[in-house]
Amino acid sequence: MNLEEILKEARSEKIPVMLDDGIVFLCDFIKSHEQIHRILEIGTAVGYSAMQMALLRDDIQIDTLEINAELAEKAKHNIMDNDLEDRIHVYLTDAMDYQTDRIYDMIFVDAAKAQYGRYMEHFLKNAKEGSFFVFDNLQFHGMVDNPSLTKNRGTLQMIKKIGVFREEIQKDPRFKTDYYADKGDGIAISRVL
């Protein structure tokens, strides 16, 4: 399947993939930062965003982590179908269990939203000065700024955590963070200082 078909199938099966303008924004960011070669992605899903990033330049290598075995297999299959298995490596693991001594130019976080702070702390050792953390879904369908959009208690707890993280990352002196509320579902880019 090509990328368009993968995206269509993922959306029809309600598998979370980035919003169209979010992936365009992310890809434009990578294109404008040629120093980004090695990327860690937390949250593979079906491999769509990893493939979009890998196709930008031949020198991009991606390690991508997925906790769901069925999605990881689907992603591996999609990546092989598009001849990208030499540059995208899928690991079936909980991100908090993943250990590596690799240093990444960009760490893209698009997994369990309430865990963003933990992921950032866990992978800070895999970043260097000038590396970027990119966080998606910081609006969470507008609910972070407008909690009245949901009555679900679990969702309310999660959006509260996202809001606290969003505020903290913008104040964290270890990073220079730019928050783009109008891109995708709310994207923050934090450069390690």
**pLDDT 10s digits, 116-168:** 999 999 999 999 999 999 999 999 999 999 999 999 999 999 999 999 999 99
- pLDDT value at residue 19: 87
Give domain limits for the chain: 3-192
Say yes or no to pLDDT of 171 above 90. yes
**CATH architecture observed for domain 3-192:** 3-Layer(aba) Sandwich (3.40)
Q: What is the residue whose two structure tokens read 């982590």?
A: 65
Taking all residues of the chain, what is their mean pLDDT, rounded to a whole number? 96
Q: How confident is the model at residue 1 (pLDDT cuts 50, 70, 90)?
A: confident
What is the spatial distance between Cα 89 and Cα 39, in angstroms, rounded to a whole number? 11
Say yes or no to pLDDT of 10 above 90. yes
Length of the chain: 193
Global pTM reads 0.95
What is the spatial distance between Cα 107 and Cα 109, in angstroms, rounded to a whole number? 6
- The maximal CA–CA distance of the chain, rounded, in angstroms, is 46
What is the spatial distance between Cα 158 and Cα 139, in angstroms, rounded to a whole number? 11
The per-residue pLDDT for range 68-126, each reduced to its tens digit, is: 999 999 999 999 999 999 999 999 999 999 999 999 999 999 998 889 999 999 999 99
Q: 190: which strand partners?
A: 133, 177
Say yes or no to pLDDT of 51 above 90. yes
- pLDDT value at residue 154: 92
Which residues, in sequence order, are CB contacts of 9 under 8 Å at separation 6+? 1, 46
Which string of DSSP letters, residue by residue, matches the chain? --HHHHHHHHHHTT-----HHHHHHHHHHHHT-TT--EEEEE--TTSHHHHHHHTT-TT-EEEEEES-HHHHHHHHHHHHHTT-TTTEEEEES-GGG------EEEEEE-S-GGGHHHHHHHHGGGEEEEEEEEE--SSTTTTTT-GGG---HHHHHHHHHHHHHHHHHHH-TTEEEEEETTSTT-EEEEEE-
Overall average pLDDT of the 170-175 stretch: 98
Q: 107: which strand partners?
A: 40, 133
